[in-house]
Homo-oligomer: A and B are copies of this chain.
Amino acid sequence: MALPHAIYQALGDPTRLEIVQRLGDRGPLPTLELVEGLGMSRQAATKHLLVLENVGLVESRTEGRQVVRELKLEVLSSAEDWLAKRTAMWDRKLDALKRLVEGME
């Protein structure tokens, strides 16, 4: 996996998060369709797509004159898991501490 913070940084922009949602909701899409209505130029949106591709969240293939991009769900899931594992552990610790304190009262 890319360094975890890199994935979160990629998701940490409203436009890119919107792109991820579109790809998740509607499946693989060619550039123009994917980018329509984002409120910025195609070139600007393409840069966001490159950010997502650089961390592996999105993959692109060329089909004729257009480029079709697809969300890599596995990568998204692995980033989630990375944090979820830790959160779960910290949660258990906190519970244990809580029970310990209650036991002492």
| Copies of this protein in the complex | 2
For chain A residues 4-37, which have a beta carbon within 8 Å of chain B?
A: 4-14, 16-17, 21, 24-25
The contact string, 1 if C-beta is below 8 Å from chain B, for chain A 78-105, is 0010011011011100100000000000
- Stretch of A39-47, A59-67, A69-77 with 4 or more beta carbons under 8 angstroms from chain B: A69-77
Q: List 19 A-B contacts (CB under 8 A).
A: A3-B14, A4-B17, A5-B16, A6-B12, A7-B12, A8-B11, A8-B12, A9-B9, A9-B13, A11-B12, A12-B12, A24-B86, A25-B90, A71-B90, A73-B87, A76-B83, A76-B87, A80-B83, A84-B84
Q: Which residues in A have some Cβ–Cβ distance to B below 8 Å?
A: 3-14, 16-17, 21, 24-25, 71, 73, 76-77, 80, 83-84, 86-87, 89-91, 94
| Residue in B7, B13, B91 whose CB lies within 8 Å of A5 | B13
Complex Cα spacing A34 to B69, Å: 41
Complex Cα spacing A37 to B21, Å: 38
